[in-house]
């Protein structure tokens, strides 16, 4: 591979779920990061009538939007295709119809403009998302909490992640969404549940604390989901729904903090008390209670705490562009026949080694 050019200016494309996003990010030789544009077109309105993301609708919407969103990202950055040094597209994991749209678009740009293509793992995008707005050197401990993923990772460098724990059933965002639905809230449920919970009395309802006392760093939310659904069925008053929402939010945040605390202890021991940096990323990191509880957990263990700005917590293309730019700076790129992958664990070895992380027929889900 050829040595790196000093500045990478990368167009990022994200189409793995229900956001069509494009962004331009510039990465300097000292790791200076500048987001020149970040455009996100949400499909929430298209999926809302169905109470969740419909893959076929998502794929069609991405096809309709991708050209104009990419053009808008370049226009906002004040650049033309000729000024880019590379194009990065999410190649998985995600809804494969959508992934194919962004990846194919990226390949077309790469081919037409003679640019290197970087096929980015969406999770690697979330892993670097906090680096878009703050200087966070490698290594760091990452809690990745989104609608499809819930895992603790030791992020040792570009593309080098070691998984310390993962969910054995649902992801945290999935739990928020499903419980929100039983409370009669619209999709996406996480932000709606957070709003409902404002001012609620979390102590009113006792909810199960999952995996308490287990020595690993895994997560489980299915028991909480069932208990909350049962309680929700019997509610008649708005104030009861508010208090249950607060109890659910507190229970999810508590589990995230408790498992993160375990991971921090193991990480600190493995590193001899050095590099104590804890980062949370993914859509659920937008939740204020979750942030507050995790920040306190980090402080207790002597870790610094970073969460990305809200716009970089949920899906966006700036994080994909940065993940691509970091790889490009190391001289890495991918062939034009890079495949779209519905499942693509960040730490493949850990995923294969642990059968409890493979609830689905097709392998690890979250
Ligand atoms: O990272 P993301 O945009 O997409 C995935 O890669 O999954 O995360 C979306 C998830 C959804 O489950 C959504 O309900 C949740 O993040 N979420 C929240 C909040 N904002 C988004 N959950 C709780 N509180 C929030 N404020
Ligand atoms: Zn995501």
> Does pLDDT of 209 surpass 50?
yes
* 215: confidence class by pLDDT, cuts 50, 70, 90: confident
Instruction: For a ligand 1 pocket test, name from 41, 123, 144, 147 the mutation site with the most ligand atoms within 8 angstroms of its C-beta.
Output: 147
> Which pLDDT value is given to residue 362?
39
Look at strands 19-27 and 33-42 and give their pairing.
antiparallel
Cα–Cα distance for residue pair 144/231, rounded to 1 Å: 28
Cα–Cα distance for residue pair 167/214, rounded to 1 Å: 13
> Does pLDDT of 358 surpass 80?
no
* 110: confidence class by pLDDT, cuts 50, 70, 90: very high
92 pocket-lining for ligand 1 (C-beta < 6 Å): no
194 pocket-lining for ligand 1 (C-beta < 6 Å): yes
Cα–Cα distance for residue pair 257/221, rounded to 1 Å: 14
- Superfamily of the domain at 140-307: ATPase, nucleotide binding domain (3.30.420.40)
43 pocket-lining for ligand 1 (C-beta < 6 Å): no
Q: Where are the domains of the chain?
A: 8-133+312-353, 140-307
Nearest ligand by distance to the CA of 148: 1
340 pocket-lining for ligand 1 (C-beta < 6 Å): no
8-133+312-353 and 140-307 have identical folds: yes
> Does pLDDT of 111 surpass 80?
yes
> Does pLDDT of 359 surpass 60?
no
Cα–Cα distance for residue pair 113/157, rounded to 1 Å: 29
> Which pLDDT value is given to residue 212?
77
Q: CATH says 8-133+312-353 is which class?
A: alpha beta
């Amino acid at each position: 591979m050829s040595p790196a050019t000093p500045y990478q200016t990368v167009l990022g494309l994200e189409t793995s779920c229900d956001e069509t996003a494009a962004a331009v990010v510039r990465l300097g030789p000292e790791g200076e990061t500048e987001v020149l544009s970040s455009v996100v077109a949400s499909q929430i309105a298209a999926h809302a009538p169905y109470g969740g993301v419909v893959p076929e609708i998502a794929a069609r919407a991405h096809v309709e939007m991708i050209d104009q969103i990419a053009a808008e990202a370049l226009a906002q950055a004040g650049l033309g295709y000729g000024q880019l040094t590379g194009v990065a597209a999410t190649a998985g994991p995600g809804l494969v119809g959508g992934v194919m749209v962004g990846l194919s678009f990226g390949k077309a740009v790469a081919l037409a403009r003679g640019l290197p293509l970087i096929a980015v793992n969406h999770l690697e995008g979330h892993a670097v998302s906090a680096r878009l707005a703050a200087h966070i050197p490698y290594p760091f401990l990452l809690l990745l909490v989104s609608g499809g993923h819930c895992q603790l990772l030791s992020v040792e460098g570009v593309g080098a992640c070691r998984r310390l724990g993962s969910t054995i059933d649902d992801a945290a965002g999935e739990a928020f969404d499903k419980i929100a639905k039983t409370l009669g809230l619209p999709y996406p449920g996480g932000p709606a549940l957070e709003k409902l919970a404002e001012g609620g009395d979390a102590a009113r309802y006792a909810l199960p604390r999952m995996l308490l006392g287990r020595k690993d760093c895994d997560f489980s939310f299915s028991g909480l989901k069932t208990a909350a659904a049962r309680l929700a069925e019997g509610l008649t008053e708005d104030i009861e729904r508010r208090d249950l929402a607060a109890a659910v939010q507190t229970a999810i945040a508590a589990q995230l903090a408790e498992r993160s605390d375990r991971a921090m202890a193991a990480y600190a021991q493995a590193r001899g008390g050095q590099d104590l940096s804890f980062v949370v990323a993914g859509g659920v990191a937008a939740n204020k209670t979750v942030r507050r509880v995790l920040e306190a957990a980090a402080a207790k263990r002597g870790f610094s705490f970073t969460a990305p700005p809200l716009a970089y917590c949920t899906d966006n293309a700036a994080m994909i562009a940065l993940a691509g730019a970091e790889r490009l700076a190391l001289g890495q790129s991918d062939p034009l026949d890079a495949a779209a992958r519905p499942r693509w664990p960040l730490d493949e070895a850990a995923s294969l080694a642990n059968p409890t992380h493979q609830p689905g027929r097709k392998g690890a889900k979250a």
